[in-house]
Structure 1
């Protein structure tokens, strides 16, 4: 029997314990965090969860491992374990891209990966995304590259602190959207395995580029063209504004 579309409640923007920025989960262990995550997902009938972190999918891997081993967890009954095993867990990497908005923030962009293609995406996409620093060196979008970048901002007595180096690297890493376009074009076979979402607000979204209109016109460039180029890179927008919904549907 043929079936049509089915509605499901998704949450594609869930940060975890040990998220790279603004971790406010306190002293809870990662395992206890996962227990609470899936209890809430069952309560609210969530079908898909996007595990989100800045410039990394390591916490996604930890949550997926917990889900894969759900039968070993005594905190859930058999029916709950079956439901948890059916929840789709997606890796969602949160990036910051330039240029900055009129509010002085970098643009918030998310890459949601096909979980069955993680190894290929890490090796062919993420390891080839690079930030060019003012010192002329390039830093890759992986743990080694982020730590190397972060050490540039540490004092000599802090250089051996791996966690601090990674934190500083995450704070500093950003790329122009054209870097993503070039990497995607060079690995076109994987482009369909990645969904790109961008924020559309005035603070850290594409709409915030409107305040650059006058400057760009003076430079004989078009803010419209810049915004349009970013929109063309993406598959969807993060926006809670009904006006955005109508605008992008052509109404």
Structure 2
């Protein structure tokens, strides 16, 4: 079933784009890599400018901010985009909390991924319920089950990227994305075109792409016992 859908997809790609499959997927992989690198660069630049603006606004304050004036409640209000958060943590001497919040995000997102697993497993009847044909529903359902590893890889990837961007370590994200791009392009060609595995090869490549990215970025972050402290409050 999946192979039939793959053959139909190949014919559609060649007919509508006029490109060979190798050229099409190479260009697609390049666009994905450019997106990841550009989003990291622009996101870091924007955060850096906002952080500098915040620092300039805080300089005239008198008396100067003293150690310990930032409360735990203020720290908990961080939503991942507030440029004042690193400054607040530095003032309170809680730089290490950046990693702790990241690891707590892992726990929350992994639990969310577990909740979403039934949607992947039962995607075939869900597609049929919304009016999709039986053939496509079965093929899509199989592919969704194969993509379960990517769901959990996303739960690890997103917090790590925010963790690195908050420290302006964009070069790490850029180099990892470039390295994984090579792996993605080579294995897409090998499994999908050379060996003819179709959507099965696509699933293997995508899962390996995100797993490698999560593993490489994880090398930057170390686990901390403080992650589990008051985790119940974070879940609320």
- Bin the TM-score by the shorter chain: under 0.3
Higher helix share: 2
The structure showing larger relative contact order (alpha-carbon pairs under 8 Å, at least 6 residues apart) is 2
Decide which structure has the larger Cα Rg and report it.
2
Normalised by the length of structure 1, the TM-score is: 0.25
Normalised by the length of structure 2, the TM-score is: 0.26
Higher strand share: 1
